[in-house]
Chains A and B, each alone.
Chain A
């Protein structure tokens, strides 16, 4: 997750600025600290021999001008490179058009999970909701496939930080921010919320899956569908719909339309649960449904005191939501 392993043009731009700044400040450090250490060594005097006071030098206008001018020039240079990088990195969000190969996603930060509303891709309206794991297509030398994230918050301030892909942008309630991600490197990129947002701020992780265009289209097609309705888990489904789960969670194609918690329509297409802190396996899912608090203490989902039978049925149903 190092910022010095950039996987996108934006992150790369920042690394260039970082290296430049580091070199400039590094040189300043070497020179100034060098003068300091030299003075300290050269002019040290054991107290015992007091040979009278050294010559008192009150100041020197030329020297003051010189060491005011030099930093000013350095600052001027830093302003120039900063401006260039700033314009490079902060992009205004365009409108969706057919054939633009661009993904538009609304990100809504919650305590302590990420809601993703996929608006459109390549001009095609999408309109489905997922949670916690972002999928985006990889770019290649011929085609840029950026994703523009529109960042909003449902509660307190959060921050979207995937270091290898971009600098962070905050999610401020009442404000709308924008972040562009674009990379030629396929695979999983990690990050996490970077603005203290309460008890489980530390466990609001980010996962960005950078898929090949084919993989991405397959994923889009699957996510766009309503939830699978397998007869084998019909009883589990009924149990689920009868519980208060539906007050918070949504499963497209069922009466469950809650908006306070992650969308579960394709829960099993995700690799993790609880915004990235545990793997998505039958065992961990069962633990989570039984009682989320030991896993993510303070999170807003309580234990519902389900009977063991109900618990198993519901978990089996959830496992069918691929």
Chain B
């Protein structure tokens, strides 16, 4: 675990954030965090915000699973249930998934490229606070008489004044417009940082893979979020100004909303997975002790996914009656996106193959990601076969599929990243024992929750129903799902406990506990506010490998 290279020294004790923090009163600390423009603090705030919303969204999920345990159950009424699934989806996508990835990206992109901060630190802070404010706005709806009950994709004309009385839908739309502005700010910042602030020698072909995926994620943010913002604005105009965008009796189009929403909605899920692809592309090599296999192909595949994913959106609309040719086009595009995704998968396997795999918690979660995302991707291919989707669409099969890729993919990968980088952020190691408990409870719980959904979907159970009749054979699968959800609960509790208690109980990590190869491991844990004593010059994709193996540096082979 000790590195063979002398680490940069000379950081005065008083500069170490932990020591400084100990000497500040709590009001001064709060002021520090509230006004910070330091990408590291902002990154931490994004992650903390996400975990808070993760718990809230999880409670919403548990309530729904409780209601669905028995047919014709009366635990929750229809309005409450419909509000819950709307808020659960909105929360998880907008206030958990995106912020946690943007947060991790915020912390580590500058470090990994040898920069001292993001390109626009104040815009960075603005982006965070606006994202948080948007989340608060959406939840304000609870105070105004109830949350929106339109589903997270809010199909028009359900969102019109006629069918959604009360202010809930307005809070929902406004909250998402506002947090969308924060997300776009983040995207702009990442692109400017990655394209304009790399260390000397770090060409775009030599950036760490996580940085590359954050670049393409940002590109997707810039292209996908504005159409959503525009469409949400149209909802507000319809509801508040009497406009007719989605007002069918006056010529408006419910169909248009679906196109606009899904044009955002599909790239959105790639926004939720590309950074994760980047994270595991950092972790798998380090814990297999082998360089990432086929970097150029991985990079090209990332670009391919980013582009193709902009053209598949109407596979969410196969049942809308677009006609055979559009259905076929979108089915073909959906199948095509599996090719670059497959390439990435095989490259990860090839990285592991012939390596020396060490199952510390980051690798354990990466294994969870690999083993599970494969399945989610394959059920996605099933859904891409348009006629098959005529049966599967809007059923629990889809619910199973997207939770599989979001939890099996995004969440497992994010937890891998959190376990990998927590030592760098805090200077302490997380408890491996707790991590293992968290992992296995999550792995088993999540399979038990979402596996059965594929079956109830195939047995004809539609999604978004607050109750169901007995006698269709759905009960057992719903009960297994609820049981699985209960098994997941302690897993999240363990994560939060681990994250908090390791702050003082964790083993001191040192600069480079994993013997890794990218620039963030060259500075202290946690890094000083200015990140690096001296901005390094890099010659390859693994600068620390070059330093640790000067007789066999990477740049000879790249």
- A residues adjacent to B (C-beta < 8 A): 1-4, 11, 13-14, 17-18, 21-22, 24-25, 28-29, 32-33, 35-37, 39-40, 43-47, 51, 53-60, 63-64, 67-68, 71-72, 75, 78-79, 81-83, 85-90, 111, 151, 155-157, 159, 161, 163, 166-170, 172-175, 177-178, 190-203, 205, 277, 297-298
What chain B residues lie within 8 Å of A43 (beta carbons)? 288, 352-357
Please, how many angstroms separate the alpha-carbon atoms of A191 and B374 in the complex? 32
Contact A54 to B462, CB < 8 A, known contacts A36-B371, A172-B255: no
Q: List 26 A-B contacts (CB under 8 A).
A: A1-B460, A2-B458, A3-B460, A18-B385, A35-B353, A36-B349, A47-B360, A55-B290, A59-B295, A60-B293, A63-B350, A71-B338, A79-B331, A82-B328, A82-B331, A82-B332, A156-B157, A157-B157, A161-B460, A174-B252, A190-B460, A196-B463, A199-B82, A201-B464, A201-B465, A277-B469
A297 with B158: CB separation less than 8 A: no
- B residues adjacent to A (C-beta < 8 A): 77-79, 82, 149-151, 155, 157-158, 162-163, 248, 252-255, 288-291, 293-297, 319-321, 323-324, 327-328, 331-332, 335-336, 338-339, 342-343, 345-347, 349-350, 352-360, 367, 370-371, 374-375, 378-379, 381-382, 384-395, 458-460, 462-469, 472-473, 549, 554, 557-558
B163 with A83: CB separation less than 8 A: no
Greatest chain A CB density within 10 A among B158, B291, B336 is at B158
CB-nearest residue of chain A to B474: A1
CB-nearest residue of chain B to A200: B78
Q: With both chains docked as a complex, state the minimum distance between the C-beta of B359 and any C-beta of chain A, in angstroms.
A: 7
B394 with A155: CB separation less than 8 A: no
A82 with B385: CB separation less than 8 A: yes
Q: Among the listed B359, B370, B393, B394, which residue makes an inter-chain contact with A44, where contact means beta carbons less than 8 Å apart?
A: B359
Please, how many angstroms separate the alpha-carbon atoms of A205 and B462 in the complex? 11
Contact A32 to B349, CB < 8 A, known contacts A72-B339, A168-B394: yes
Q: Among the listed B155, B162, B391, which residue makes an inter-chain contact with A196, where contact means beta carbons less than 8 Å apart?
A: B155
> Apart from A17-B388, A54-B289, what are 11 other A-B pairs with CB-CB below 8 Å?
A4-B458, A43-B357, A45-B358, A67-B343, A82-B335, A85-B385, A159-B319, A169-B319, A195-B394, A198-B149, A202-B466
Q: With both chains docked as a complex, state the minimum distance between the C-beta of A112 and any C-beta of chain B, in angstroms.
A: 10
A82 with B350: CB separation less than 8 A: no
CB-nearest residue of chain A to B468: A202
Q: With both chains docked as a complex, state the minimum distance between the C-beta of A295 and any C-beta of chain B, in angstroms.
A: 11
CB-nearest residue of chain A to B465: A202
A-B contact count (CB 8 A): 277
What chain B residues lie within 8 Å of A71 (beta carbons)? 338-339, 342-343
What chain B residues lie within 8 Å of A13 (beta carbons)? 387
Q: Among the listed A14, A25, A199, A203, which residue makes an inter-chain contact with B390, where contact means beta carbons less than 8 Å apart?
A: A14
B391 with A3: CB separation less than 8 A: yes
B381 with A78: CB separation less than 8 A: yes
What chain A residues lie within 8 Å of B155 (beta carbons)? 156-157, 195-196
B393 with A168: CB separation less than 8 A: yes
Please, how many angstroms separate the alpha-carbon atoms of A11 and B391 in the complex? 9
CB-nearest residue of chain B to A70: B342
Please, how many angstroms separate the alpha-carbon atoms of A192 and B468 in the complex? 10
Please, how many angstroms separate the alpha-carbon atoms of A13 and B349 in the complex? 36
What chain A residues lie within 8 Å of B290 (beta carbons)? 53-57
What chain B residues lie within 8 Å of A190 (beta carbons)? 460, 472
Please, how many angstroms separate the alpha-carbon atoms of A4 and B367 in the complex? 33
Please, how many angstroms separate the alpha-carbon atoms of A161 and B392 in the complex? 10
What chain B residues lie within 8 Å of A18 (beta carbons)? 382, 385, 388, 391
Please, how many angstroms separate the alpha-carbon atoms of A297 and B384 in the complex? 37
CB-nearest residue of chain B to A44: B357
CB-nearest residue of chain A to B323: A90
Greatest chain A CB density within 10 A among B347, B375, B390, B393 is at B390
Contact A172 to B320, CB < 8 A, known contacts A39-B352, A297-B77: yes
